[in-house]
Structure 1
């Protein structure tokens, strides 16, 4: 019991506690709002990724058809397509058109890997968001913790994506420059971190009931011990008074 209370105290001291969400909602309402928002956003992203996978498949088929047409027009009828273009005349890519085809194929393969990986991660995150909504509605901590872990991993991946996206001028130009890009990314990351703090505070609030239960159990045990001690002391006092007022026959 003592170890549980110590763990509860340590967990409350280590985590940043919020008393409400946006100064309007309580933690449970804020967690429900966060879960609904994240479910909608992750579902939208998942639909876009699935559409992108279908379009990439069509793009790969068109690319392979163009490569075969180009090879046939140049007289290379037996060409194998994989990670590399293999020609039967010296295995060398000679023309600029062939180099472009090789670069396009490499870019398409990287895009396919990125889309499939993003789809898997988004599906896992969507399940964690559904678990968060269930935990907030049912007030169960074990369904909230998966989203907190997934969100912490998401923050790390988001920071990596921001650093990588800073090196692409086409992405930065969508935000109107580096300053606005950095400002938007900072606001998005801080908002995500605030949501994690709010959900973590709700998880601590649900765990606070367990801490109170352990404290009440300790108080119950102490009261039982005091009751037994008082009962035994009363019996001993009653026996002493009985012996003091008794006759000799009571001592024989």
Structure 2
């Protein structure tokens, strides 16, 4: 009993708990709102990624056709050595146009790998969001925790993406400069962290209810044990009193 109570108290002290969500909703309502918002957002991102995969596949096929047409037009034949591909025109290496084709093909392949990886991660995150919604509605902690872990990993990946995106001027230009880019990304990360804290507080609230029930059950067991000892002692006392009452005089000597 004491070990379980200490573990419950320790888990509550190790986490910073929120009492409400946005000062208007309680933690359960906040978890439901976060789940609905994240389901809509991840579904939208997943659709965009699937469309991007289809377009990149078409782009690769078109690029391959253009490379073959250009090779035939220039009288270039292809030499393949394992996975390395070079172009020759007689004994002369290919022109800059062929080198650009090779770079474009490599970039398209990297883009396909990135899109497939992002699609898998987004699908996993979408399932975690659905689990969060079910856990918030049914008030079940075990369905809430997967989203918390996935969101923590998402924050790390988001910070890495922000740092990498800072090196691309086209991405920074969409925000109107480095200052607006840093401010917008920082605000988004802080909002995500606040959502994680709210859901974590809701998970602790569900766990706190279980801890309280466990403590109450342990206290009830102690009370039943004490009552059993008291009843047993009273029965022994009654038996001894009955024996003394009906005993002979020699019992008192």
TM-score (norm 2): 0.92
Corresponding residue number in structure 2 for 1:8: 8
Q: In structure 2, what is the equivalent of residue 96 of structure 1?
A: 96
1:106 is matched with 106
| Counterpart in the other structure of 1:45 | 45
The separation in 1 between residues aligned to 2:221 and 2:102, in whole angstroms, is: 76
In 1, Cα distance between equivalents of 2:106 and 2:39: 33
2:218 match: 218
Deviations 1:143-172 (A, max 9, x none): 111111100000000000000000001000
Contact between 2:75 and 2:89, CA under 8 Å: does it hold in 1? Answer: no
Q: Hey, what's the Cα distance between the residues in 1 that align with 2:144 and 2:203?
A: 7
- Alignment partner, residue 33 of structure 2: 33
Task: Look up the match of 1:56.
Answer: 56
Q: Is the 8 A contact 1:71 1:79 kept in 2?
A: no
Structure 1: where are the runs of 5+ without partners? none
SS in 2 for 1:87: strand
* Cα distance between partner residues in 2 of 1:96 and 1:88: 12
Residue 247 (structure 1) shift: 4.2
Matched, 1:154 2:154: yes
Tell me the residue number matched to 2:200: 200
Using the TM superposition, give the Cα deviation of residue 78 of structure 1 relative to its aligned residue in structure 2, in angstroms: 4.4
Q: Bigger CA drift: 84-93 or 157-166?
A: 84-93
Relative distance call for 1:180 and 1:219 in structure 2 (3 A) is same
Q: Deviations over 1:160-189 (max 9, x none)?
A: 000000000100010011111000011000
Aligned residue pairs total 252
Deviation at 1:87, TM superposition (A): 2.8
Give ranges in structure 2 of 5+ residues lacking alignment: none
Distance of 2:96 and 2:62 partners within structure 1: 19
2:166 corresponds in structure 1 to 166
Instruction: Please report how far the alpha carbon of residue 228 of structure 1 lies from its aligned counterpart in structure 2 after TM superposition.
Output: 1.8
State the alpha-carbon separation in 1 of the partners of residues 93 and 108 from structure 2: 19
> Cα 1:126–1:93, aligned 2, differ >3 Å: closer, same or farther?
farther
Name whichever of 90-99 and 107-116 sits farther off: 90-99
CA-based RMSD of the aligned residues comes to 2.2
Give the Cα–Cα distance (whole angstroms) in 2 for the partners of residues 54 and 46 of structure 1. Answer: 13
How far residue 74 of structure 1 moved from its aligned partner, in angstroms, is: 1.3
Asked if structure 2 preserves the Cα contact closer than 8 Å seen for 1:83 and 1:106, the reply is: no
Q: Is the 8 A contact 2:76 2:90 kept in 1?
A: no
Q: Indicate the SS of the match to 2:18.
A: coil
TM-score of the superposed pair, with normalisation by structure 1: 0.93
User: Secondary structure of the residue that 1:170 maps to in structure 2?
Assistant: helix
Task: For residue 92 of structure 1, report the CA deviation from its aligned partner.
Answer: 7.1
Correspondence for 2:144 = 144
Taking structure 1 as reference, are residues 175 and 31 closer, same or farther at Cα in structure 2, changes over 3 Å only?
same
Taking a change above 3 Å as real, the CA distance of residues 75 and 136 of structure 1, as seen in their structure-2 partners, is same
